Amino acid sequence: QTVVTQEPSFSVSPGGTITLTCGLSSGSVSPNYYPSWYQQTPGQAPRTLIYSTNTRSSGVPDRFSGSILGSKAALTITGAQADDECEYYCVLYIGSGIWVFGGGTKLTVL
Amino acid sequence: EVQLVESGGGLVKPGGSLRLSCAASGFSFSYHTMNWVRQAPGKGLEWVSSISTGSHYIYYADSVKGRFTISRDNAKNSLYLQMTSLSAEDTAVYYCARYGDADPFDIWGQGTMVTVSS
């Protein structure tokens, strides 16, 4: 069974830069997994930040960027703001029509 | 306005069945693959199922295969999820989500809550 791994939690200072990662229980993430990143605030539906590794969704500030770092997909947030404090999810396409979400990273800005 | 509105959630007993609906508006529904994604209380997102534009390609997560059936009616701009043999582990908010041009989940509904409890 494929498991997509994310850091359970992370903290960043206001104005700071942070990189969240998205890995596989076995193997390396590549663009062929079409990594996407979603932001979710409590009680709300998720919204897309990044898809296809590094394409920013419409209206998403350029403070958010996606990449492959080593063996993982990565979401980098620069100039962190208070309202960036929420949950971040990555999702990978593992083939045969199957998508797997990571467990999410709870980001704290303090 | 592009919109997805889920309905059909509620309280159901273990072993029971429920049918969720998702009404789409503001876009050409028949041109898009559609998904169901769920989120158990306090937990993360879980992809459940996808259906292609013409219903030729249908996929399920292992956790629901054989119990859930996804379908769509392009004439009614609607997506469905028939759920059977429900257990407590199926308790979650169920979202329908559109597959965009390259974003697999570009538009989300507000979700509908399914609670499986005796």
Residues of chain B predicted below pLDDT 50: none
Q: d(Cα B109, Cα B22) in Å, to the nearest integer?
A: 8
| CA A31 to chain centroid | 14
Strand order in the sheet with B18-25: B3-7, B18-25, B78-83, B68-73
Q: Do A99 and B104 touch (CB under 8 A)?
A: yes
Of A36, A87, A100, the CB nearest to B103: A36
Q: Tokens 């509105």 map to which residue?
A: B5
Residues of B in contact with A51 (CB under 8 A): 100, 102-104, 106
User: Nearest-CA distance from B14 to chain A in Å?
Assistant: 26
Q: Do B108 and A99 touch (CB under 8 A)?
A: no
Q: d(Cα B14, Cα B47) in Å, to the nearest integer?
A: 22
Asked if residue A1 has pLDDT above 90, the reply is no
pLDDT of residue A68: 98
Q: Classify A31 as helix, strand or coil.
A: helix
Q: d(Cα B108, Cα A58) in Å, to the nearest integer?
A: 15
Q: d(Cα A1, Cα B52) in Å, to the nearest integer?
A: 24
Q: How confident is the prediction for chain A on average, in pLDDT?
A: 97
pLDDT of residue A14: 97
pLDDT of residue B101: 87
Please state the length of chain B: 118
Q: Is A59 left (phi over 0), alpha (psi -120 to 50) or beta?
A: left
- The per-residue pLDDT for range A62-74, each reduced to its tens digit, is 999 999 999 999 9
Decide if B3 contacts B25 (C-beta within 8 A). yes
- Mutation pick from B103, B107, B110, B112 vs chain A, by most beta carbons of A within 10 Å, is B103
Strand order in the sheet with A4-6: A4-6, A18-24, A72-77, A64-69
Query: Among all residues of chain B, which has the CA nearest to that of A94?
Result: B61
Binning pLDDT at 50, 70 and 90, where does residue A86 land?
A: very high
Residue percentage of chain A with pLDDT more than 70: 100
For B66-93, letters b (16+ CB in 10 Å) and e give: eebbbebebeebbbbbebeebeeebbbb
Residues of A in contact with B59 (CB under 8 A): 96-98
Binning pLDDT at 50, 70 and 90, where does residue A61 land?
A: very high
Q: d(Cα A88, Cα A91) in Å, to the nearest integer?
A: 10
Residue percentage of chain A with pLDDT more than 90: 98
